[in-house]
Amino acid sequence: MRRITDAGELAPHYDLVVVGAGPAGLSAATEAAAAGASVLVADENLAPGGQIYRAVTRNTPEKQDFLGQDYWKGRAIAEAFSALAIDYAAATTVWNLDAAAGGEECASTGLTLGGVARMISARAVILATGAMERPMSVPGWTLPGVMSAGAAQIALKSVSGIPSGRIVLAGCGPLLYLLADQLLRAGAEIAALLDTADRKQRMAALRHLPDFLLSPYLAKGLSLLFSVRRQIKVISGVTQLAITGAGHAQSVRFQVGRRETTIAADCVLLHQGIIPGINLTSAAGCAIEWNDAQRAFQPRTDKHGRTSLSGLFSAGDGAGIGGAEHAAVSGRIAAVAALKDFGLLPPSEASSRLTELEKQRQVYRRGRAFLDALYRPARQFLAPSDPDTMVCRCEEVHAGTLRQVIALGVPGPNQLKTFLRCGMGPCQGRMCASTVTEIMAAERGISPAEIGTYRLRAPVKPLRLAELAALPQTPAAVFAVTGRALEHDSIEKKERTNDDTSHSDPHHAPRR
């Protein structure tokens, strides 16, 4: 692996660009590099691993044994990645992606490293952007002391950070129990775990139980449940939830049946499952479809990860939630398919490898339908009914305001933006998109598939105008903007000047 720390070290073209260095991205890059492809991996984090294996190259079982046995599986993936000739750009933001079009054979990726923007071309791009937590908008969720379970796990993996005081975990999903187990092993004080999963769906999950009994996740799941329930109070069947406090979280009020209870809390960790991170896929123009079993939108792909656009692939949880080991295999599948498409692997060899990998993937798919049904969020948490509940934190839009505007006949989430700016803040809808769709679907009495989600455009992450303006430009681009035809030599001189300036100007220091 060759670590890229300066944008000037990036090659202008690669066979394959991989976005994301989680299990899917690392495995895809490893597979492609082993076959002789030139590969660039661009990732926002400082080290490989993604969210699931965050800081796995720095942590040790002796000091962070509380993270659990499965976490250390990421060490082998990271080591295999590091052993090959792969360009790895950490702390890099990918803000644009254009598929090959108009006779072009390559896709184009816009990224920023060290405050310097570059456009990199590739014969194929694999989006291994992973998953994000589904927003859980409940009264009081924006109070200090309230965070997502994923954020708490980032702190735990990155710096062994443990929330102080009494912790209440609330929501549903396997991650909630995994985090509870990790926090308990690390010495945290957990007052209770409030399970909000839909009980009716849990009964429906039983029809998928036989398949789950053959799943490699069975033993791990049972072990987690027994361990957590043995050590802390787990309250199931929670139908209402609110966080209260003067200036910060102080207690959690919840309802089970007709009984309302309040628990004192210094820190509240919310979670109701994960959904594919589709912002970059959507902004690139890939077709997006609704997965009702996982209650989320995802890119439309074939069985090898090809999206609706030529040369663009989606792998791992960003293409549909399947877990870490499933993500690693799907990354390899996408890489082999890409190599086959641009002729770096003979069709017979690629087909044989794909058949082998597909068998592995089927093993990790077992039981997924059971988990999706077992931990399906209840409707009242998907579409909060309290009118004062904040939905869009960036623009401070409440559920009641959303419903008032929806009642005016707004066609969809994209038109809703023009009324309320909901989804136009710094997070670009990551923290409100699914809730907005769910509220609109509930109000209209139709499926979220008919409502749709935000239509995104580049840049999908904040980008300074100085970075955009300093990008190397072609003569055609300069003429389109200025109306003046410049000689090719003048363009090259301007590019060299921009490179020299970006390396010396203190205003181009990396953002923190």
CATH number for the domain spanning 202: value is 3.50.50.60
pLDDT tens digits, 217-267: 898 889 999 999 999 999 999 999 999 999 999 999 999 999 999 999 999
Asked if the structure places residue 350 within a domain, the reply is no
Residues 375 and 235 in one domain: yes
What's 306's DSSP letter? B
pLDDT at 426 exceeding the cut of 90: no
Q: What is the pLDDT of residue 183?
A: 97
Identify the burial level of 495 via C-beta atoms within 10 angstroms of its C-beta, where 0-12 means exposed, 13-18 middle and 19 or more buried: middle
CA nearest to 434, candidates 381, 495, 501: 381
CA angle, 422 then 424 then 428, to 5°: 110
Average pLDDT of span 98-122: 89
Asked if the structure places residue 362 within a domain, the reply is no
Asked if the structure places residue 301 within a domain, the reply is yes
Asked if the structure places residue 486 within a domain, the reply is yes
What's 208's DSSP letter? G
Residue 190, helix vs strand vs coil: strand
Q: What is the pLDDT of residue 469?
A: 81
pLDDT tens digits, 9-38: 999 999 999 999 999 999 999 999 999 999
Residue 135, helix vs strand vs coil: coil
Residues 128 and 192 in one domain: no
Asked if the structure places residue 414 within a domain, the reply is yes
The number of domains in the chain is 4
Question: What percent of the chain is predicted at pLDDT more than 90?
Answer: 82
Q: What is the pLDDT of residue 306?
A: 97
**d(C-alpha 196, C-alpha 270), whole Å:** 10
Q: How many residues does the chain have?
A: 512
Asked if the structure places residue 363 within a domain, the reply is no
pLDDT tens digits, 373-396: 999 999 999 999 999 999 999 999
Residues 124 and 145 in one domain: no
Average pLDDT of span 170-185: 96
Residue 385, helix vs strand vs coil: coil
Asked if the structure places residue 197 within a domain, the reply is yes
Average pLDDT of span 84-88: 97
Q: What is the pLDDT of residue 463?
A: 87
**d(C-alpha 336, C-alpha 412), whole Å:** 38
C-alpha torsion sign, points 401, 404, 408, 410: positive
Q: State the average pLDDT for the chain.
A: 92
Residues 389 and 377 in one domain: no
CATH number for the domain spanning 389: value is 1.10.10.1100
Task: Report the amino acid identity of residue 399.
Answer: A
Residues 411 and 425 in one domain: yes
Cα distance from N-terminal residue to C-terminal residue, the chain: 25
pLDDT at 510 exceeding the cut of 50: no
The residue among 326, 359, 381 that closes a domain is 381
pLDDT tens digits, 355-373: 999 999 999 999 999 999 9
Residues 58 and 140 in one domain: no
pLDDT at 503 exceeding the cut of 70: no
Residues 251 and 374 in one domain: yes
pLDDT at 104 exceeding the cut of 90: no
Q: What is the pLDDT of residue 499?
A: 52
Residues 68 and 110 in one domain: yes
Q: Where does the pLDDT of residue 508 fall: very low under 50, low under 70, confident under 90, or very high at 90 and above?
A: very low
Residue 325 CB contacts under 8 Å (≥ 6 apart), including other chains: 23, 73, 216, 364
Q: Where does the pLDDT of residue 488 fall: very low under 50, low under 70, confident under 90, or very high at 90 and above?
A: low
Residue 297 phi, psi dihedral angles, 5° rounding: -90, 150
Q: Where does the pLDDT of residue 296 fall: very low under 50, low under 70, confident under 90, or very high at 90 and above?
A: very high
Residues 241 and 372 in one domain: yes
Residues 448 and 299 in one domain: no
Residues 90 and 112 in one domain: yes
Residues 153 and 223 in one domain: yes
Q: Which domain holds residue 396?
A: 383-458
Q: Mark out the alpha helices in 275-345 (DSSP H runs).
A: 279-283, 324-341
Asked if the structure places residue 252 within a domain, the reply is yes
Q: What is the pLDDT of residue 54?
A: 96
Q: At which residue do the structure tokens 């209260």 appear?
A: 244
